[in-house]
Structure 1
Amino acid sequence: MLSKVNKNYIWAYFISFYALWCIRELWLVQYLDLMDSVPRAIISATIKMIIWVIPVILLVKLVEKSNPSSYLGLRHNFGKGIKWAGWISLVFIAYFIILNLIVLKNDIDFHIGFNEWLNTILLVGIIEEIVFRGFLLRKFMELSSFWKANTITSLLFVSIHFPIWFYKGLFEFPYIISSIVVAFVLSIIFGLIYKKTNSLWSVIIIHSLYNLLVSLFY
């Protein structure tokens, strides 16, 4: 079991980066929107790395005294992670095609800007999975059972979307209910895949692919 100090630093990390994330989404984004696409995308990506990933790397090195790439699941089981990512990705692709092209008759929008490619598709999968599956889920699993840890991690994963939804004017019923359910279920699935593969690359690829499909169809 983790010591009380060890438990507290996990929550201190999450609360700190969550507060900074709210500031970024509710205040700083308004100023970033005034910039051209490329500078905005690069600055936004840099801020995400500073708020989310760099503290995790420092905590793993200084508190856990471990190699970050190994500890977070980036070094081992790469082949197994890629294999699982491939199969699950096919399931997501089939689902989006059937739902949007056949059932809903939606068109595919291939006009994706640089900012969306960088921050919504490429980096989100890496950054969010390092934080939530690589770090938080692993730490909570040391405290309790996998299902309890996965549930707590998924609730926290949902919470980081609140400032985004609020900023974009999407925090309204009934949209917000479906958004919460989708984010929670996806996080549960990501947690299961991470546990099964013990590879962060599996969920990084699947997460990024899912965001790409959302960008193409919605």
Structure 2
Amino acid sequence: MKQNVRLIAASYYLVLYVLWAILECVIVPKLELQTNHVYIDIIKEIICKILFWFIPALLLILRYSDQMFFKKSELLGNSKKAVDYIPMCIFIILFTAWFLIPNYYQNGTIVINRSFNAEAALSAIFAGITEEMVFRGLLLNSALKDRRTWVVFSGNAVMFLLIHFPIWIREGIFVTYMTNIVFLQLIALSLIFSWTFVKSRNILTAIILHAYWDLLCCML
């Protein structure tokens, strides 16, 4: 039975990957010829991610949580020690410095991206919620049991990286991102999200960090 949930989670990831690749590489380019990009982003980043990412992952967690590392009753916080949330606070400070210091150095002040708007903020927030529910809440949670933690973290990071390939291919930045530090940045972020999730025993820590990083990416 222990292998069952891992196989189901892996199968879900494969189906999700295929559907997401079709959406990014086939459907979105066609929509771009007829629809405003704002509506496309709302459909893709909010509606589709709720339907194809969040809801299936949540249902699988509710159904198979007894075979996972954290049970469904523990996902929203099983630790009462404030010290377990210190890593999240430290990473929030580090993320802020990572973006603000270069921004200030280049501009002499903090400059907000002119394209940043409510739609971009919502997309960032929903990305944090939906992607963390899939990658940490389901995939990592189902694989951790009886496995070496950092091996599972690494495998999860690779899966997290792979899901970004379709959009990179569609936008023509795949080669550029794979030949510079961007892909390593995604690996590092995935490891951070996974570690803080396990350390705090709370999926909200990973969601907050992920959403905060994406907000900073949109804003600065």
> Which residue of 1 is the match for residue 5 of structure 2?
6
Deviation at 1:114, TM superposition (A): 4.0
> Which residue of 2 is the match for residue 73 of structure 1?
75
Secondary structure class of the residue paired with 2:102 = helix
Deviation at 1:150, TM superposition (A): 0.3
> Which residue of 2 is the match for residue 155 of structure 1?
158
CA gap of 1:39–1:53, structure 2 versus 1, over 3 A, is same
Q: AA paired with 2:208?
A: I
Equivalent position to 1:95, from 86, 94, 98:
98
Q: AA paired with 1:142?
A: K
Distance 1:176 1:25 in 2: 22
Q: AA paired with 2:28?
A: V
> Which residue of 1 is the match for residue 49 of structure 2?
48
Distance 1:194 1:27 in 2: 34
8 Å CA contact 1:78–1:199 kept in 2: the answer is: no
Please, which runs of 5 or more residues in structure 2 have no aligned partner? none
Distance 1:211 1:78 in 2: 28
> Which residue of 2 is the match for residue 29 of structure 1?
28
Identical residues among aligned pairs (%): 26
Q: AA paired with 2:189?
A: L
Distance 1:8 1:142 in 2: 13
8 Å CA contact 2:143–2:152 kept in 1: the answer is: yes
Q: AA paired with 2:9?
A: I
Distance 2:174 2:104 in 1: 27
Equivalent position to 2:128, from 125, 146, 151:
125
1:108 aligns with 2:112: yes
Secondary structure class of the residue paired with 1:142 = coil
CA gap of 1:86–1:196, structure 2 versus 1, over 3 A, is same
Secondary structure class of the residue paired with 2:181 = helix
Q: AA paired with 2:120?
A: E
Deviation at 1:115, TM superposition (A): 3.5
Secondary structure class of the residue paired with 2:174 = coil
Please, which runs of 5 or more residues in structure 1 have no aligned partner? none
TM-score relative to the length of structure 1? 0.84
CA gap of 1:23–1:146, structure 2 versus 1, over 3 A, is same
Distance 2:185 2:73 in 1: 28
Deviation at 1:12, TM superposition (A): 0.7
Matched pairs, number: 214
Deviation at 1:71, TM superposition (A): 5.2
Deviation at 1:132, TM superposition (A): 0.7
